[in-house]
Amino acid sequence: MNVLQLKRFNLSVNVNEYPVKILDDITLSINKGKINTIIGESGCGKSLLCKSILKLLPVDSEYSGAILFNHHDKEYNLLADIDLQQVRGKIVSLLFQNPSSSLNPVLKCGSQIIDILPHNKKASKSSKIEFALDLLNEVSFQNPMEIFHKYPHELSGGEKQRFALALAIGCKPSLLIADEPLSSLDIDLKHNFIELIYKLKKIRKMTLLWVTHDLDFAQKFSDNVFVMYCGNIVESGTVQDVFENPSHPYTQALLNSFQSLKKDRPESIRGNISSFQNLPKGCNFYPRCDYKKSICTDTSPEYSEVSHGHIVKCYVQEK
């Protein structure tokens, strides 16, 4: 069953008073209870896509298309403020890329957790404290009372990230969006953190949409994968579809470049990602593509199906 659907979603942001299109015709569906992973180079629009789902858009953005969310047989239109208010931070929540920037520096951790407790005005003091300690315990703090009395700046990087996770899951969201949750952690903490999210996802029966640059983690901890390039989803499918039969030239180049990092001779993808202010006509990837045909430089390809549910936006795959 689909919980989240984006239909032909477009987003333009304001750069020096001119609209610049970043997200282009994003169409995707996310199934309940699955781990969905977005991969792609820096600057291709992954964070803006995550934020768009909760309408956390830059000032003066323009958008079109639809973002729909299903919960308990009700469909919410997340681009309509009246629906969004019922969903944001409650049914769908977002774990930001940099935990330091999302935490309130002047409130102790315990107070920050109590603030998210539903109906907290009516709750007794002891039940508020119990709620906070249970949540801290759930995100693997061995010393919840100590953390309760600390300010965010007194936490280590790994603790901050787990505290931010506690805030994100406090209202028992049905969908957790996590934007590069591993990027500020060292390799051991990365393992611990992703295993923690994985465990919580199972216990709480959440759906997860996350962004990572680490393709080993993506392969190990995903059901479905979305590959982004220059504001487009260029390939999507199950983790096996994308990692074992990568069918878009960009996905092939991305996987190849990641694999080469483990060898002595790292190979980056030829050329650079195009500027959104000056995107090529036709397929965005053609300046870097070894398989381009004449049509690629003229008209952008549509989505086509390589196999059931394995979707690619490339002329090479069109039948």
Ligand X SMILES: Nc1ncnc2c1ncn2[C@@H]1O[C@H](COP(=O)(O)OP(=O)(O)O)[C@@H](O)[C@H]1O
Under the rule (CB under 6 A), what is the footprint of ligand X? 13, 15, 22, 42-48, 58, 276
Cβ-based nearer residue to ligand SF4, 171 or 316? 316
Let me know: does 6 contact 67? Beta carbons within 8 Å.
yes
Hey, what are 24's tokens?
């282009």
Among 283, 306, 310, 311, binds ligand SF4 (CB under 6 A): 283
The footprint of ligand SF4 on residues 52-111 (CB under 6 A) is: none
Among 3, 286, 310, 311, binds ligand SF4 (CB under 6 A): 286
Among 18, 95, 28, smallest CA distance to 313 is for 28
What strand order describes the sheet that includes 74-77?
18-31, 2-15, 62-71, 74-77
Write down the least CB distance from residue 274 to ligand X, Å: 10
Cβ-based nearer residue to Mg ion, 47 or 77? 47
- Sort residue 92 into left (φ over 0), alpha (ψ -120 to 50) or beta: beta
When CB distances are held under 5 to 8 angstroms depending on the partner's kind, the choice from ligand SF4, ligand X, Mg ion, none that residue 285 binds is: ligand SF4
Write down the least CB distance from residue 296 to ligand SF4, Å: 3
Size of the site for ligand SF4 (CB under 6 A): 13
When CB distances are held under 5 to 8 angstroms depending on the partner's kind, the choice from Mg ion, ligand SF4, ligand X, none that residue 48 binds is: ligand X
The footprint of Mg ion on residues 33-92 (CB under 5 A) is: 46-47
Hey, what are 244's tokens?
């074992």
Quote the CA–CA distance of 134 and 139 in Å, as a whole number.
9
Cβ-based nearer residue to ligand X, 96 or 131? 96
Helices (H), 180-306: 187-204, 215-220, 239-244, 249-261
Cβ-based nearer residue to ligand SF4, 174 or 317? 317
Cβ-based nearer residue to Mg ion, 97 or 192? 97
Task: Rule CB under 6 A: say whether 314 interacts with ligand SF4.
Answer: yes
Write down the least CB distance from residue 56 to ligand SF4, Å: 31
Among 254, 289, 306, 311, binds ligand SF4 (CB under 6 A): 289
Let me know: does 165 contact 196? Beta carbons within 8 Å.
yes
- Helix/strand/coil percentages in the chain, nearest 5: 35, 25, 35
What strand order describes the sheet that includes 207-211?
92-95, 175-179, 207-211, 35-39, 224-229, 232-238, 310-312, 304-307
Q: What is the DSSP string of 119-161?
A: TTTTS-HHHHHHHHHHHHHHTT-S-HHHHHTS-GGGS-HHHHH
The footprint of ligand SF4 on residues 235-254 (CB under 6 A) is: 249
When CB distances are held under 5 to 8 angstroms depending on the partner's kind, the choice from ligand X, Mg ion, ligand SF4, none that residue 281 binds is: none
Among 292, 306, 310, 311, binds ligand SF4 (CB under 6 A): 292
Write down the least CB distance from residue 288 to Mg ion, Å: 20
Q: Per-residue string for binding with Mg ion, 3-42, x by CB under 5 A? A: ----------------------------------------
Residue with tokens 């569906």: 29
What is the bridge-based pairing of β-strands 232-238 and 74-77? unpaired
Q: Show Cβ contacts of residue 317 under 8 Å, excluding neighbours closer than 6 positions.
A: 247, 248, 304, 306
**Quick one: angle between helices 157-169 and 125-138, nearest 10?**
120
Residues at the site binding ligand SF4, with contacts judged by CB under 6 A: 249, 283, 285-286, 289, 291-293, 296, 301, 314-316
Residues at the site binding Mg ion, with contacts judged by CB under 5 A: 46-47
